[in-house]
Chains A and B, each alone.
Chain A
Amino acid sequence: MKVILHDLGRQYDGMLEARCDRMIAADGKYAPCQGCFGCWTKHPAECFMKDRLQQVCRLIGQADELVIITKNLYGGYSAEVKNVLDRSIGTSTPFSTYRGGQMHHTLRYGKHNLWKVIVYGDVSDAEKDTFRYLSERNAVNDGFERSEVLFAGSPAEAEELA
């Protein structure tokens, strides 16, 4: 399953929906993670907050290919996109293991294929390096076989790269 997570705005929803199986619009109209671990210990793979992201970890968890389109923010994801990722930790279980030589959580949905990030907006060379590093770390953490980072000149170009 291919899942696209994007912060491009509602005008891109239709075009992006045609390119994937499920699309998540990161519009910021949801609450930030409260760090309660309830999606591990109380109601597995589900958030206690009953908004649009309540079951987002189930979607991302089942993605074979996850494409993230994000505006650059200091070499990392935009707040809207990061909010969705923060609410998705239920893709893993509370149990720990070693992956890539470091401690991580075991995967609720098993291995995935591609963690692809498409960055648009003003981005410096140093921020590009951080994005590549961050993407690699995310891929290991979430059990993706490989990661890829592309830099687009504009939101429209980012949409085409998805």
Chain B
Amino acid sequence: MKTVLINCSPKKRFSASAYFLFLQRLFISGEKVNGTLRTPADHARILEQLRDTQAVVFCLPLYVDGIPSHVLRFMEEMERFCRENDLRFSVYCIANNGFIEGRQNEPLMQVFEHFCSRACLDWGGGVGIGGGVMLNVTRILFVVDIVLLLLNTVLSAVNTGSFFPKEAWISFGENAALLLYFNLGVLFYLGRMGGCIRNRTYSGKKYTRILIPSFVFIVFADIFFVIASLFEGGLFRGWLARKAAEEQ
């Protein structure tokens, strides 16, 4: 069985969509083909992969309560392509948004359902994820934890001759467990949808989020944007001001 997984994020690297697609791949068996959809130049290559596939997984960010415009352009072309070539396969969707409520992806899911109806494809359902940006940060923190563990191991080996610094391993285990906990909802629902993709059955629309309280999430989100705006300079350029439009 062949599954085409399409990363629809416009970002070149470190996108949350790439992270969730990586996790989804872990739960799918058979031939897996990756596609990246950033510009119209990517359309033809992805469409060719659809000729003999049994399932397609779209992974995309939520933009203004809906599907990003560059993905809509592809979907219009994909509808025509599937109709002209009489293709039929199942379509699944992983949507993520920066707000904490995964349910905010509901309009996007409905649009995908209507797309499948128009293109005569089987709507397989999807997973809507809240706190996508912050979940993406957890994978970076996990890599940092591994690097710190390796450094501690080297230092321990040099200083004491032991390759097993107990405290460093305990600290790593605690951090890894915490990061895993944040991702549990996502892992559960992507695992569940992976089973449906394998069997080409309907998975329903499921919504999950990073597993921290909303009021804590908001504080961290605000801190993130203050730091980002500080480094990028927006903080000093009328950060929250009501900017007037220049006459064009």
A residues near B (Cβ < 8 Å) are 32-38, 40-46, 52, 55, 58-59, 61-62, 73-80, 82-83, 85-86, 88-89, 93-97, 102-104, 108-110, 124, 126-127, 130, 133-134, 137-138, 141
A130 CA / B233 CA spacing, docked (Å) = 39
A151 CA / B225 CA spacing, docked (Å) = 39
Q: Which parts of B83-122 form the interface with A (CB within 8 Å)?
A: 99-101, 103-104, 106-107, 110-112, 114-115, 117-118
Residues of chain B within 8 A (CB-CB) of A36 are 11
Name the residue on B nearest A73 (C-beta). B72
Q: Which of A61, A75, A96, A130 contacts B222 (CB 8 A)?
A: A96
Stretch of B23-31, B48-56, B145-153, B239-247 at the chain-chain interface? B239-247
A89 CA / B61 CA spacing, docked (Å) = 14
Residues of chain B within 8 A (CB-CB) of A32 are 10, 68-70
Let me know if B63 is at the binding interface, CB within 8 A: yes
**What's the nearest-Cβ distance from chain A to residue B148, in Å?**
28
A77 CA / B66 CA spacing, docked (Å) = 9
Contact A95–B225 (Cβ < 8 Å): yes
A108 CA / B221 CA spacing, docked (Å) = 17
Let me know if B166 is at the binding interface, CB within 8 A: no
Contact A82–B67 (Cβ < 8 Å): yes
Q: Which of A59, A82, A86, A130 contacts B110 (CB 8 A)?
A: A130
Name the residue on A nearest B225 (C-beta). A94
Known A42-B229, A43-B233, A73-B72; further 15 A-B contacts with Cβ < 8 A: A32-B69, A33-B68, A35-B11, A41-B225, A44-B234, A59-B245, A74-B111, A74-B115, A75-B111, A76-B111, A79-B69, A79-B72, A93-B240, A94-B228, A134-B111
**What's the nearest-Cβ distance from chain A to residue B108, in Å?**
8
Residues of chain A within 8 A (CB-CB) of B67 are 76, 82
Let me know if B65 is at the binding interface, CB within 8 A: yes
Name the residue on B nearest A59 (C-beta). B245
Let me know if B232 is at the binding interface, CB within 8 A: yes
A35 CA / B234 CA spacing, docked (Å) = 16
A103 CA / B111 CA spacing, docked (Å) = 22
Q: Name 15 A/B residue pairs within 8 A (Cβ), A-sorted.
A: A35-B11, A42-B233, A55-B246, A74-B75, A82-B67, A82-B68, A82-B69, A86-B68, A94-B229, A102-B101, A102-B104, A108-B240, A124-B114, A124-B117, A141-B65
Residues of chain B within 8 A (CB-CB) of A110 are 242
Q: Which of A34, A94, A133 contacts B11 (CB 8 A)?
A: A34
Most buried by A among B10, B101, B114: B114
Residues of chain A within 8 A (CB-CB) of B64 are 82, 85-86, 88-89, 138, 141
**What's the nearest-Cβ distance from chain A to residue B124, in Å?**
16
Q: Which of B63, B99, B214, B237 contacts A44 (CB 8 A)?
A: B237
Contact A33–B222 (Cβ < 8 Å): no
A85 CA / B107 CA spacing, docked (Å) = 15
A97 CA / B237 CA spacing, docked (Å) = 22
Contact B63–A58 (Cβ < 8 Å): no
Q: Which of B72, B107, B117, B232 contacts A133 (CB 8 A)?
A: B107
